[in-house]
Amino acid sequence: MSNSTGTTRKPVYLAVYDTLADWETGHATAQLARAGYEIRTVGPAREPVRSVGGLRVQPDLALADVRPSDAALLILPGADLWDAGDDLAPFARTARAFLDAGVPVAAICGATAGLAREGLLDDRDHTSAVSFYLAATQYGGGERYVDADAVTDGGLVTAGPTEPVAFAREILRLLHVYDDEAVDAWYRLFHDSDAGAYAVLEKAGVL
């Protein structure tokens, strides 16, 4: 996949699993796709999964076949399963492999708890739904919790379940999809319904 300047971009991997919160990543994946990124879904296996909203998703890849070197980003949405046992722990371990390889990871909602259990938030600034949600995991990063809509620390983006637009904003910034002015305007449009942002986005060729 190439952008308008001819630069080859690696795909973005979107984790999919049963009970995934399908509203949390749509802003990010839609904008990334419009900007020229291929979105590839990654499931526990190749069998279809079903979102909390009832959408049936056929994964493009099984988690065992994922390599950090093949991707630009790994996105982990929330899901009821993050708090219902260890079924999704392999996705948190994969996030560790990505971060260790210098490839970014973006986690929202329950996925932040999965990263906390994996120890990935102990030494990074982060956020989630509320601080005591992560505290229940007994992780060691409570002092690094930030009360914000979304937080980026190095190659890791975190956000709570009510902030899909801020989550997307941080991803667009992290991957340098648009310049800061365009990203800020995009956020104002989709988060604040600021009609004045249209002119900036049209000038930047985003809309």
Question: What residues are annotated to the active site?
Answer: 109
Q: Report how far residue 14's alpha carbon sits from residue 149's, in angstroms, rounded to the nearest whole number.
A: 21
Q: Report how far residue 149's alpha carbon sits from residue 126's, in angstroms, rounded to the nearest whole number.
A: 10
| Dihedral (CA of 129, 131, 132, 137) sign | positive
